Structure 1
Amino acid sequence: MTSAEQTRPRSLYPELDEGTLMRFFEALVSGDTGRLAPSRAAEIDQARELVAPVRVKVPGADVGAGSVELDGVLWKQRTGAEQCPGIVMPSPWTGLGWLVYVVQATRFALAGYNVLTYTTRGFGASGGEVEVAGEPDVKDASRALDYLIEQAGATRVGFLGDSYGSGISQLAAAQDERIDAVVALSTWGDLGEAFYENTTRHVAAVQTLLGAAQQAGARLSESTQRVFGDVLSNQNIEATLKWAAERSPLTYVERINRREVPVYFAHAWHETLFPTNQTLRMFHALTGPKRINLSIGDHSSPEMTGMVGLPNRIWEDAHRWLNHHLKDVENGIGDEDQVISQIMWNKTLESRPTWDAVTGRTERLYLTAAPAGEDDGALIDKPGSAWSTVIQTSADTPATVADAIITTGYAEMAGNPKTYPTGDISHADAGVWTSTPMAVAARLRGIPRLHLTYTPSAGQSTFIAHLFDVAADGSAHIITHAPFTSLDADPGQPVTADVELQATGYDIPAGHRLMLVLDGTDPFYGDANPPRATLTIASSQDDPSYLDIPLS
């Protein structure tokens, strides 16, 4: 198995057991709770007194040969349904479809909502083909809202989605003025940036989506297959970015702002499918009520325990958000800070009034030549003399984003982040710069920024910047990273790179060092480097290379 194949899980929801979730739903319908734990049985008994969940077929949008039916479940209040608020929940990128939400939908119903969950087109028992939050999916969302209102009624309506369903929920709110609030978990704002970060192809992300769709038996439309294939084969970039823009909530943010729709986001620091910065750009662009919860982990993993009914602060906030904005419950969330951050690795929760307030100050560290007798360059607070170093780009190094999409995030959540052997990094294949040991703990909060000049030996080039926290024994944990690609440089001519690394909330203990590693290959990305290419990384007195570190 290649390193790229190792990064691809078969499912985006490895912790969810279909049988367990289906037993919950069957007991909810039949009342037979004999195979459930007492606490779960009591919850179902209480729910059955208030709501009558039923499997439904939701008429979807008319596309091509005709309309499709969407497989769903409707939780309708037994009394006074028309005077209740409603929630629509489009499913994630999984064959489990609406079943992913069965526990949380029941809890919303217990709180007095009419709830409709549905499986998005092309997945599971729903008709149609997967359009990746295209126009048919957005029209499906409005049709689902039509159905909820016709069958149960709704005074106000919220949309809630995880992953794929979160993007559809934002896009629906931009198009349908009946939607009063949104919860978007593990979401995207700019799909183009998720596929091409700094012009670098996210091949592992696209391979993961394809593999999960295949495992789910999803039916991808011809255009979806073509775009995914183009990303993997490095073709038709402009057409792909146009396709992605049509599916990006950021494209339509002014429509959301016009009505000041309240939006709640949840995201993981080490998100490998939809990088954090592009979601933060969407968050920053919103002018209405907003909130973002940033957590240790990877795609959908921080909210996973809530999907099976265990205590989960992200889902608790989602309930508070919708209760406040759909039911006028004065629970305090409207007066709380906009940003909640879970800090790596102590799991402390911090809040700030805005994203701009997350970073208190910035410290500039200059990349300098290796001191006498040292292999690594230095990161220091003053620029040094001019220097240059040459790296080969064809070989991978131990400096990688993660061992695997999603599963590495679960290990991080469990307190076991990947340990990197920095001593094994070849200086022929990577540039390495290290700070002196921290006299006191450093609290990194925000987006690190890298400025450097390099000269590629070829017209196209890629490097990946990794920022590590290195202990005294040389072992390291990754703080953040970002790729950079230049596609139109002249061979032998300098390229200036200004790179935003992915946002972070990280505490570096006293005695540890920062380490910046630049190499040309990572299994998560499709690099543009031709065989045997080199990058000459340099710094001059007129234009020194530096790393800006955001601190609290």
Structure 2
Amino acid sequence: MHPAAHSLYPELDATALNAFAAALETGEPAGLPPARAAEAAAVRAATVFSRGKVTGADGTLLDAALWRHTGPAPRPVVVMPAPWSDLGWPAYAVQASRFAIRGYDVLAYSPRGFAASGGHADCAGPLDVTDGRHALDHLLERTAGPVTRIGVLGVSYGAGIAQLVAAHDARVDAVAALSGWGDLGEVLRENHTRRTAAVHTLLTASPRARLSRPTERALEDVLAGHALGEALAWAEQRSPFTHVKELGRRRVAVFCAQAWHETLFPAGQVLRMFQELTGPKRIDLSIGDHCGPEMTGLPGLPNRIWADALRWFDHHLAGVDNGIDAEGEVLSEVMWTRALEPSPVWPLPTHRVRRLHLTGTGELADAPDPGWAAVVLCGVETPVAVADAVARSGYAELEGLPKRYPAADAMDRTATAVWTAAPAAETTRLRGTPRLRVTYRAANSGSTVVAYLLDLAPDGSARLITHAPFSDLDAPPDSLISADVDLHPIAYDLPPDHRPMLALTTRDPFYADANLPRATLSFTSPEPTPSYVELPLG
């Protein structure tokens, strides 16, 4: 049973954004606070704002808004496809206005199937890419003076479309993708494990959206666990990672922003694409979950992510020497100090890797310990889970209230296998991608393991550092399986006297479960394939 549908953007104030959009159109600031009313008036004084329709692929009409300058001066332009929501382009009303004030001509539009646009959502497929190119045509035809350079910016769904338009349209010079995806296949299935909570959210989070039948079928097939090959082929076409060489060949300047604990589009698949980019690139990694780090910027509050996106376009489109190109490719916010750490490259520089072996005593130790078994029962719900709901737990993290987990001695050992390391006297800086090697015996064919790396405090409370699922779908019954799993990447400071804790379960509501109910998994550590976790130390 999946949770009820909920908004991907719980902090998005649709009423305030629509009121701001109305003020841009009419000049009447009814219902706006004084600062926002003054901003709307300044936009109207500097640009001509208008609403209208863009003719997209197959004649579909897309609801859009245009900010343009009337003078003949050369200027850059930006196209903004809207997120996966019923609000549509007004989500960008404030931020597009700020780009316009800085001299950009801007067109924001609602993708097909959403808000007041026609058609059916293609989930960033060929129709959406063509729509984005037509939106750019529409903007260029209405720009008064010469166009210097071109950018595409999007949040969430709009970020995926933005990257794909940039890959397919040689006119695009720069892209900003906030909380987007790199590999849609990994969004649907990770380590052979179907990501059912994320897929269910895509199907239900925008109740008034009109999804195309191929989009519905692909998502429903992932939920049902059949025709996965067809669903993954559908996803491959919609993945910026598939087209990363084209972005690199043309040296498109790519800016990404992602949350460490992203539950919809995990950071790992975006960072995998980021590593393959060969042109100018930058990624901001923050505490939180889907769209949380940049959400306060949409209604106009100060926001680091939006400020960096604007600086990125100022440098790569407007030619402003603002120093962003010299700040390194990565800026990461550290859990839980919130310190900002620049790095010249991803992966983050690692001082060394510490290997901790799983032992029969429940310790994470420096030496291997063969010959033990820890048996867990499948099909049992445990209090250890990725998050309470897709996207929402990240807002608590932004407020300094991360989810608390039970301590090792409070976990049900019939359903959870647990190991803890000795506490360190100093802060342990975890930077990069932890890796797990675990060997287990599955009584039945088909098995799923979810691994959680936790921070165990002296008072017995625990917090999630990172996690990852793994499934084996092909091994015959009573097989010994060795799983090599990259956990989700992190920048985490483990305080003095805190201990890393590894928990392995067979069931998490975020993922499909390939185990048979009441079957067992027996974790072990044979000499040929010892079980261990590797921690990247910064």
Shorter chain as denominator, the TM-score bin is over 0.9
Task: Answer yes or no: is the 8 Å Cα contact 1:9–1:406 preserved in 2.
Answer: no
User: Structure 1 residue aligned with 2:375, among 382, 390, 403?
Assistant: 390
User: Structure 2 residue aligned with 1:209, among 202, 205, 230?
Assistant: 202
- Map of 2:180 onto structure 1: 187
Tell me whether 1:445 sits opposite 2:431 in the alignment.
yes
Hey, what's the Cα distance between the residues in 1 that align with 2:435 and 2:113? 40
Deviation at 1:9, TM superposition (A): 4.9
Task: Answer yes or no: is the 8 Å Cα contact 2:348–2:432 preserved in 1.
Answer: no
Hey, what's the Cα distance between the residues in 1 that align with 2:463 and 2:263? 16
Task: Answer yes or no: is the 8 Å Cα contact 1:442–1:508 preserved in 2.
Answer: yes
Task: Answer yes or no: is the 8 Å Cα contact 1:131–1:224 preserved in 2.
Answer: yes
Deviations 1:162-221 (A, max 9, x none): 0001011111111100001000000111100111000101100011111113x2x11111
Q: Which amino acid in structure 1 is aligned with residue 294 of structure 2?
A: E
User: Structure 1 residue aligned with 2:395, among 385, 410, 416?
Assistant: 410
Tell me whether 1:305 sits opposite 2:296 in the alignment.
yes
Q: Which amino acid in structure 2 is aligned with residue 94 of structure 1?
A: S
Hey, what's the Cα distance between the residues in 1 that align with 2:91 and 2:349? 33
Secondary structure in structure 2 of the residue aligned to 1:155: strand
Task: Answer yes or no: is the 8 Å Cα contact 1:194–1:275 preserved in 2.
Answer: yes
- Map of 1:31 onto structure 2: 27
Task: Answer yes or no: is the 8 Å Cα contact 2:458–2:497 preserved in 1.
Answer: yes
User: Structure 2 residue aligned with 1:175, among 168, 171, 175?
Assistant: 168
- Map of 2:69 onto structure 1: 77
Displaced runs of 4+ in structure 1, greater than 3 A?
A: none
Task: Answer yes or no: is the 8 Å Cα contact 1:184–1:264 preserved in 2.
Answer: yes
Task: Answer yes or no: is the 8 Å Cα contact 2:442–2:522 preserved in 1.
Answer: yes
Deviation at 1:80, TM superposition (A): 2.7
Hey, what's the Cα distance between the residues in 2 that align with 1:316 and 1:397? 41
Hey, what's the Cα distance between the residues in 1 that align with 2:406 and 2:478? 33
**Gapped regions of structure 2 (runs ≥ 5):** none
Hey, what's the Cα distance between the residues in 2 that align with 1:378 and 1:272? 29
Correspondence list, 1:475-514, <5 A: 475-514=461-500
Hey, what's the Cα distance between the residues in 2 that align with 1:39 and 1:368? 60
Hey, what's the Cα distance between the residues in 2 that align with 1:296 and 1:85? 32
User: Structure 2 residue aligned with 1:472, among 452, 458, 472?
Assistant: 458
Deviation at 1:34, TM superposition (A): 4.9
Task: Answer yes or no: is the 8 Å Cα contact 1:443–1:505 preserved in 2.
Answer: yes
Secondary structure in structure 2 of the residue aligned to 1:224: helix
% identical aligned pairs: 52
Secondary structure in structure 1 of the residue aligned to 2:79: strand
Q: Which amino acid in structure 2 is aligned with residue 391 of structure 1?
A: V
- Map of 1:546 onto structure 2: 532
TM-score, normalized by length of structure 2?
0.98
Secondary structure in structure 2 of the residue aligned to 1:324: helix
Task: Answer yes or no: is the 8 Å Cα contact 1:442–1:507 preserved in 2.
Answer: yes
Deviation at 1:79, TM superposition (A): 2.1
Hey, what's the Cα distance between the residues in 1 that align with 2:517 and 2:369? 32
Deviations 1:470-495 (A, max 9, x none): 11122100000000000000111111
Distance 1:9 1:415, change over 3 A: farther
Q: Which amino acid in structure 2 is aligned with residue 476 of structure 1?
A: A
Tell me whether 1:380 sits opposite 2:371 in the alignment.
no
Hey, what's the Cα distance between the residues in 1 that align with 2:314 and 2:338? 27
User: Structure 2 residue aligned with 1:515, among 501, 522, 531?
Assistant: 501
Hey, what's the Cα distance between the residues in 2 that align with 1:274 and 1:16? 19
Q: Which amino acid in structure 1 is aligned with residue 218 of structure 2?
A: V
Hey, what's the Cα distance between the residues in 1 that align with 2:227 and 2:217? 10
- Map of 1:12 onto structure 2: 8
- Map of 1:236 onto structure 2: 227
Hey, what's the Cα distance between the residues in 2 that align with 1:137 and 1:35? 34
Hey, what's the Cα distance between the residues in 2 that align with 1:359 and 1:144? 43
Deviation at 1:407, TM superposition (A): 1.3
Correspondence list, 1:111-126, <5 A: 111-126=102-117
**Gapped regions of structure 1 (runs ≥ 5):** 371-376
Deviation at 1:12, TM superposition (A): 1.0
Task: Answer yes or no: is the 8 Å Cα contact 1:368–1:384 preserved in 2.
Answer: yes
Task: Answer yes or no: is the 8 Å Cα contact 1:444–1:507 preserved in 2.
Answer: yes
Secondary structure in structure 1 of the residue aligned to 2:285: strand
Secondary structure in structure 2 of the residue aligned to 1:303: helix
Deviations 1:442-495 (A, max 9, x none): 111110000011111111000100110011122100000000000000111111
Deviations 1:233-282 (A, max 9, x none): 11111111111101001111111111010000000000001111100001
Hey, what's the Cα distance between the residues in 2 that align with 1:235 and 1:424? 38
Secondary structure in structure 1 of the residue aligned to 2:205: helix
- Map of 2:140 onto structure 1: 149
Hey, what's the Cα distance between the residues in 2 that align with 1:35 and 1:393? 55
- Map of 1:255 onto structure 2: 246
Tell me whether 1:58 sits opposite 2:54 in the alignment.
yes
Deviations 1:86-128 (A, max 9, x none): 0000011001010110000000000000000000000111111
Secondary structure in structure 2 of the residue aligned to 1:85: strand
Task: Answer yes or no: is the 8 Å Cα contact 2:16–2:32 preserved in 1.
Answer: no
Task: Answer yes or no: is the 8 Å Cα contact 2:257–2:305 preserved in 1.
Answer: yes
How large is the RMSD of aligned CA atoms in angstroms? 1.1
User: Structure 2 residue aligned with 1:399, among 380, 384, 390?
Assistant: 384
Hey, what's the Cα distance between the residues in 2 that align with 1:226 and 1:30? 42
Secondary structure in structure 2 of the residue aligned to 1:350: strand
Tell me whether 1:270 sits opposite 2:261 in the alignment.
yes
Hey, what's the Cα distance between the residues in 1 that align with 2:205 and 2:482? 37
Deviation at 1:41, TM superposition (A): 2.1
Larger mean Cα displacement after TM superposition, 491-500 or 538-547: 538-547
Q: Which amino acid in structure 2 is aligned with residue 536 of structure 1?
A: S
Q: Which amino acid in structure 2 is aligned with residue 443 of structure 1?
A: R
Tell me whether 1:349 sits opposite 2:343 in the alignment.
no
Secondary structure in structure 1 of the residue aligned to 2:363: strand
Task: Answer yes or no: is the 8 Å Cα contact 2:370–2:524 preserved in 1.
Answer: no
Q: Which amino acid in structure 2 is aligned with residue 432 of structure 1?
A: V
Task: Answer yes or no: is the 8 Å Cα contact 1:85–1:327 preserved in 2.
Answer: yes
Task: Answer yes or no: is the 8 Å Cα contact 1:461–1:485 preserved in 2.
Answer: yes
Hey, what's the Cα distance between the residues in 2 that align with 1:402 and 1:278? 19
- Aligned residues between the structures: 535
Deviation at 1:361, TM superposition (A): 1.7
Task: Answer yes or no: is the 8 Å Cα contact 1:50–1:78 preserved in 2.
Answer: no
Hey, what's the Cα distance between the residues in 2 that align with 1:35 and 1:492? 66
Deviations 1:505-527 (A, max 9, x none): 11111111111000000000011
- Map of 1:374 onto structure 2: none
Hey, what's the Cα distance between the residues in 2 that align with 1:225 and 1:41? 41
Secondary structure in structure 2 of the residue aligned to 1:436: coil
Hey, what's the Cα distance between the residues in 2 that align with 1:32 and 1:139? 35
